[in-house]
Amino acid sequence: MLSLDEALARLRAATSPLAETEAVSTFDALGRVLARAVRSRLDVPPHDNSSMDGYAMRAADVPSRGGVLPVLQRVAAGQVGVRLEAGSAARIFTGAPIPEGADAVVMQEHCEPTTMLDGRPAVRVKTPPEAGQWIRRRGEDVRADAVVLEAGTRLTPQALGLAASVGAATLDVVRRPRVALFSTGDELVMPGEPLKPGAIYNSNRYTLRALLQQAGCEVGDLGIVPDRLEATREALRRAARGHDLILTSGGVSVGEEDHLRPAVQAEGAIDLWQIAIKPGKPLAFGHVRRGVDNEGGPASALFIGLPGNPVSSFVTFLVAVRPVLQALQGMPATEPAALALPAGFDWSRPDARREFLRARRGADGLLELFPNQSSGVLTSAVWAEGLIDNPPGHAIARGDLVRFLPFSDRP
């Protein structure tokens, strides 16, 4: 059986990044992946400006015991002052440009408004400033011509803000991956339908569809496909048209009712089957040939068959499908953001396969395990905050540091 790392290397190698890109409004680009780097044409901030409400002055004009300076101008954010006369101060507010000639700001809490003998407004500076204080320098965030976001970056809210701060109204992003999704299983009925004897509700369709949407995909949902070879082959042919990836759940084990592998073999090829992980061992990877209406794209669609057990399909999506979606969108291969956290439990009978255990942090900061780690218990995946990534055959004792992968990791 392949290790997960070997399998991921093969999956990535078989995945070519999508070539098509589109320009989208920066408003609509959340979660999209940049096709082209964002370069700034300007310094940010574009001018030296005050980081406090207070008074701008020349530090050398204030004697060490403090002093009184006439206030000859007032500069609010969005305004531009005039050159500071020697020995004077300017009333200034946060974000306002520093008048030419000034080299320090004293916060208003350290000043007292007063008047000169001739009645002009003035300020008493109680604490003499150091040159440069409370000034945000032009370009201290971004320098003109700097790349602020690299190609291959998934756009987070703060990345959108950064793009906007350099004036980018539109962004060039990779087109959304098109993913066909279907569930197999004669026992499956949809919520809203009566639960006939022997049936269960189709939960994977909801979990996987939402995971795909969260990852920025366009989902072609083909519903439920019966446990028959010909129906499965027909669904694969339909799914290959116009989709980059076909994602299925169920029917990839070795039972007589598991038709996905033979169906994919008939319509394309299985390139990899079974990974040494728990849950999720029967994952299958391959490709399905496209029909004659193929519009000049690749001659086949990628295929990933996830196991039917709800926790298995959830976990295998996180560990194996996400990296493929990232590769499709031209993102660099990255390790998931793992934390080293102490176990609050003993795990004395580890599996020979690499395990992904549903866990969360308790009030004492130690990780707790959901008591039932069965791959059919979806409650565990909702209770948990992430997965403990436990190496093959590795026992855990209370207090040991383990590798924890939070679910909140970027999609």
Contact residues: Mg ion, CB under 5 A: 185, 250-251, 308
Nearer to Mg ion, 256 or 293 (CB): 256
- Told to check if 310 binds ligand AMP by CB under 6 A, we report yes
Side-chain-side CA neighbours of 314 within 13 Å: the count stands at 24
Distance CA 232, CA 258 (A): 10
C-alpha angle with apex 200: 382 to 387, nearest 5 degrees?
25
In the list ligand AMP, Mg ion, none, the entry touching 205 (Cβ below 5 to 8 angstroms by class) is ligand AMP
Return phi, psi of residue 237, to 5°.
Answer: -60, -45
Helix (H, G, I), strand (E, B) or coil at 101: coil
Over the window 187 to 226, marking each residue x when it contacts ligand AMP by CB under 6 A and - when it does not, the resulting string is: xx-----------x-xxxx---------------------
- In this chain, which stretch among 50-58, 181-189, 266-274, 293-301 interacts with ligand AMP, using CB under 6 A? 181-189
> In the block, which residue shows the tokens 């976990």?
315
Give the nearest distance from C-beta 216 to Mg ion in angstroms. Answer: 29
In the list ligand AMP, Mg ion, none, the entry touching 99 (Cβ below 5 to 8 angstroms by class) is none
In the list Mg ion, ligand AMP, none, the entry touching 309 (Cβ below 5 to 8 angstroms by class) is ligand AMP
- In this chain, which stretch among 93-101, 104-112, 305-313, 398-406 interacts with ligand AMP, using CB under 6 A? 305-313
- In this chain, which stretch among 125-133, 246-254, 268-276, 325-333 interacts with ligand AMP, using CB under 6 A? 246-254
Contacts of 19 (CB under 8 A, 6+ apart): none
Distance of CA 82 to the CA centre of its chain: 45
Give the nearest distance from C-beta 225 to ligand AMP in angstroms. Answer: 11
Helix (H, G, I), strand (E, B) or coil at 263: helix
- Told to check if 380 binds ligand AMP by CB under 6 A, we report no
Out of 15, 26, 249, 380, name the contact with ligand AMP by CB under 6 A.
249
Between the CA of residue 25 and those of 3, 30, 149, 170, what are the distances in Å?
Answer: 41, 10, 16, 4
Distance CA 266, CA 289 (A): 10
Angle (deg, nearest 10), helices 229-240 and 260-267: 50
Nearer to ligand AMP, 49 or 202 (CB): 202
In the complex, the residues that contact ligand AMP under the rule CB under 6 A are 183, 185, 187-188, 200, 202-205, 249-251, 253, 307-310
